[in-house]
Every structure is written in structure tokens, then in C-alpha cells.
Amino acid sequence: MDYDPIRLEVFKNLLSGIAEEMGVTLCRTAFSPNIKERKDFSCALFDGEGRMIAQAEHIPVHLGAMPMSVLHAIEHVDMAPGDGVLVNDPYGGGTHLPDITLVTPIFVGSARRPSFFAANRAHHADVGGMTPGSMPLSTEIFQEGIRIPPVKIMEDGRVQQDLLRLILANVRTPREREGDLTAQIAANRTGERRLQEVIDKYGLPEVLHYCGELLNYSERMTRHVIDAVPKGDYRFEDVMDDDGIGSEPVHIRVTVRVSDTEVEVDFSGTDAQVRGSVNANWAVTMSAVYYCIRTLAEQQFPFNHGCMVPIRIVADEGSVVHCAFPSAVAGGNVETSQRIVDVVLGALSQAMPARVAAACSGTMNNITIGGYDARKEGAYTYYETIAGGTGGRPGLPGMHATHAHMTNTLNTPVEALEHAFPFRITRYGIRRNSGGKGRFAGGDGIIREVEFLAEAQVTLLSDRRKSRPYGLEGGEPGKSGETILRHDNRRKKLPSKFSMRAQEGDRLTIATPGGGGYGPKETT
């Protein structure tokens, strides 16, 4: 052993602490409620080869996919000190267009190549496209907003005003977008500054050595996790309600093959990509799979590039879990990622029933609202995901009203929401008895009701309105969700995915699914 375990722990905490401080900077300096209140962002550090070495405890779907964006930036842009590269292209490691990634090279001394990279990804409440919030019922990527290939937003320490003007000319809320982009720049500068302090203290050779040892350690720990899974092939399938354009269910099928210290996750047989926006690109699918294997660990260890090495993922290109350009992807990142988790964990539950929980709500319930705010004499865009119930677990019930799996955000506080936007929250609480029954019951979902104070465009991308989150080991499924519009004292049930024009005085009620139950309910 050529490393000191105590020193390894020191560097693990130093590097993750830098990523966490990057997140604090981004949160405190952002303009939009989606970033500063909900914390819909993620931060990480990468080595000079583009391998993730440390992350903050932010959003799984961001962090598992971000390495592909960083590599895409490295491959396509020649970076120098003071540069910063923007990218949101889902066909280059992005997730969906509202998630914009900033990659900043970190040079040490007179080195000609970066020794490290700081990166963050933030969900912008609007990046253009056919509806406010850039989460539309789209049929191709061009309808979803501005698509940014790897391009310098910073050069030699200065913001490239031409590029910034181009981006801001294509969004509905340019002042807010500029503020959030500037916050992303500040976050990476924080990471660069703090990492340089660590290098000054310990020297570059030792920092690089322990970065490599952290990757080795996480790989060993991941192989240890896989080794504990009984060897064999495990199959599972589940459906999404529809793609938002047609009414047919979308099937996702998986076979998980476990060998000694490696695992293959094979999505052969999954439906082909669809017209609607629930197509998941390769980065999203990879991220979801990495997350699932990670949940099997009984002890904490860093999530970094080393965790990805023992995991092989197979999917047909052109399928709904490995879509091809120019398919629409806005909902793939948020909805299909959740169903990928459901099927992979469903397969793993056959191998390790005492380690895997029943299905969580299975949807992020993405709501976007936009229009004109007369109070502020300008356009606004609002985006939020609404939590549901988590699945019952071996030994414990599920949790109520909790963001689970691929999302790790907060809710927007009602006070902040009503201050920022022209609508009112008239009901917000737990949806009682929506969790599946079982020895360990599923958690309950949420009921949120919005009253519109002015005309607005509303889009909802959700799921589990036709299907239900499954129970395990005899537990019952959770209740499916529902969405109700009240207009002129009339009540109308809406589908899981829709876009509509709401009128002043309308009320929209979103009831999110509960989690599945675990184990048969005991009878007396």
C-alpha cells in the first residue's frame, strides 16, 4: 500500500469540501428561485484527463452525466488560463437544454495543459423554445430551446459579450439568465481558488497522487459492493404512461448480469425512441445506472470516476434510453431517468430483496409556468419539480413528500414563490393514504394547488398517472397521481403531460403518487 489511509481521508474531505463550497457560492449569488431556493444545480472537480475526482452531494442525474460534458468540452475546445466553456448539448453529455454546464480549466504554475477542471451544472428556468420554461411537449430538440455546443463564455478572464448577447436574445428572462450564468462563473472561480490553496499547501505531486488513490479506492469499494450481489441474470420491466404526444405506454426493459466484481446492465428490448420528449440520451441513462449500483452500498465512499469502471451499460442506439439526434429530450432527463431507476432496482430486488426498497413515486412532476407579470412589468418563467412518496424499505416505511432518486432538490418556499410570481398557492400538504400498504408502507405524496392571478402558459411533464409505483415482497403499489383543473367552477382531469393556457382565477391541483409498500401487511 503506497498511500496513508489518514491522508486519503484528509484529501477526500478537502476535495469534496471544495465542491460543496462551489455550491454555496452558486446558491448565494444566483438570481432565479429555481437555483437559489430549490438548489437545482450540481458541482464537481475533475482531473486533467476529465475524470471526476470529487463532487458535492447535489443532484444524481446531473453528477452521473456531467463527466461526458466535461470530456466533450476538453475534446472540442483548446482551453487556456482564464477560460470557461459552456455546453448544454444533450448529444454531447448534456441532460436537457435547461441544464447548462460550465467547465473551467485549472492550470498550475507554468503548465501548458490544465491539471484540473472545475465544473458545475445548473437548471435555468428558461432557455427559449416553444413554451416558457423550456420543458415543452416537443417532437424534436430544436423546439426545446437554444442548443449550445462547447464554446468559450470566458476567455483570458473576460466574459465573451458577443456569446452572452446571443444567448440572452434567445430566452424569455434575460436578466435572470445573465445572473445565473454569472453565478456559475463565480462558483467555478471559488473551486479554482480553493484547489490552488490545497496545491500550495501540499504540493501538486501529492495532490495528484491522492486524487488517483481516491479513484482507485472508490473502484475497489464498488467492486466490493458488486461482489456482494448474488451472481446471475435478473430481469425487470416497467412502463411510462405515454410520451405526451401519443397515448401508448413506453416500455423499458432491463437485464442485469452480475459477475464476480463487475455488472452489465442491458436495456435490449426497450422500446424505440418516441415522438415526444421522454427520450433519454446516453448520459442520462448512464447516470441513472450508476446511481442504482451506488444505492446497494452499505457504507459511504466517494462517488467519482472509479465507481463507474466496473459497470458496463448496453442499449440499442435509437431506443428511448439511448436516443439519436434530433429527438426531443426535455422529459427524458426528468421522467425517463426515474423509470430507468425503477427497472434497474426492480431487477436488483430479485437478487437482494433485503437491500432494495419498493418503487418511489417515479416522477418529478415538472411544472413550468410563464407569462407577463404586470407587477414587475416583465416576463417571468417558473420551474419546479414536486416531490412524492418514497417506497417502503426493509425494516422502515417510506418517507412522505420527499424528492427521491434522480432528483435531490428542495421545494420552493411558498413565500418566495408568491413573492416572485403572479400566482398563489392555495393548498400545499401531504396526500394522505397515497402510499402503498404493506408491512412497511410506502410514503405519501403531495397535494399542491396553484391559483393563477393572471393569464399564463402552463406545461406539466409527469408520469405515474396510469401506472402505479410497484410494491415489493407482497407490498401493495402506491396510488397513481392526478392533475385537476378548476375553471369556471368546473372540474377537469388532465393527462400526465399537457400544455395549456390558464386564465386568471383558474386553479390547478397536482396530487403526486405515493411510494410502493414493502412486505405483506400483517393481519390480526
Read off the pLDDT of residues 397-423 as tens digits, 9 standing for 90 and up. Answer: 999 999 999 988 889 999 999 999 999
Residue 65 is predicted with a pLDDT of 85
Q: State the maximum Cα–Cα separation within the chain, in Å, rounded to a whole number.
A: 75
Distance CA 384, CA 133 (A): 10
pLDDT of 93 higher than 90: no
Q: Are strands 311-314 and 263-266 parallel, antiparallel or unpaired?
A: parallel
Residue 524 pLDDT > 60? no
476-494 average pLDDT score: 97
Segment 345-373 shows an average pLDDT of 97
State residue 60's pLDDT score: 75
Task: Report how far residue 122's alpha carbon sits from residue 297's, in angstroms, rounded to the nearest whole number.
Answer: 28
Looking at 88-183, which runs of residues are DSSP E strands? 99-106, 116-123, 151-155, 158-159
For residue 62, the model assigns a pLDDT of 77
* Cell numbers found for residue 338: 426515474
Residue 175, all three cell numbers = 436578466
Sign of CA dihedral 143, 145, 146, 147: negative
The pLDDT score that the predictor gives to residue 166 is: 98
Residue 504's identity, in one-letter code, is: E
Phi (first) and psi of residue 272, to 5 degrees:
-65, 160
Helical packing angle, 204-227 and 282-294, nearest 10°: 70
pLDDT digits (tens, 9 = 90+) for 288-305: 999 999 999 998 899 999
Number of CB atoms found within 10 A of residue 265's CB: 26
The predicted structure's pLDDT at residue 58: 73
Q: How many Å apart are CA 403 and CA 386, to the nearest integer?
A: 7
Average of per-residue pLDDT across 109-137: 96
% of the chain with per-residue pLDDT over 90: 94
Q: Could you read off the pLDDT of 70-87 as tens digits, one per residue?
A: 999 999 999 999 999 999
* Residue 477 and residue 441 in contact, taking contact as beta carbons nearer than 8 Å: no
Q: 229 pLDDT exceeds 90? A: yes
User: Using an 8 Å Cβ cutoff, are 479 and 352 in contact?
Assistant: no
Give 253-263 pLDDT, tens digit per residue.
999 999 988 99
Task: Give the model's confidence band at 523: pLDDT under 50 very low, under 70 low, under 90 confident, else very high.
Answer: low
pLDDT of residue 260: 87
Q: What percent of the chain is modeled with pLDDT above 70?
A: 99
**Angstrom distance (rounded) from CA 245 to CA 506:** 24
- pTM of the predicted protein model: 0.96
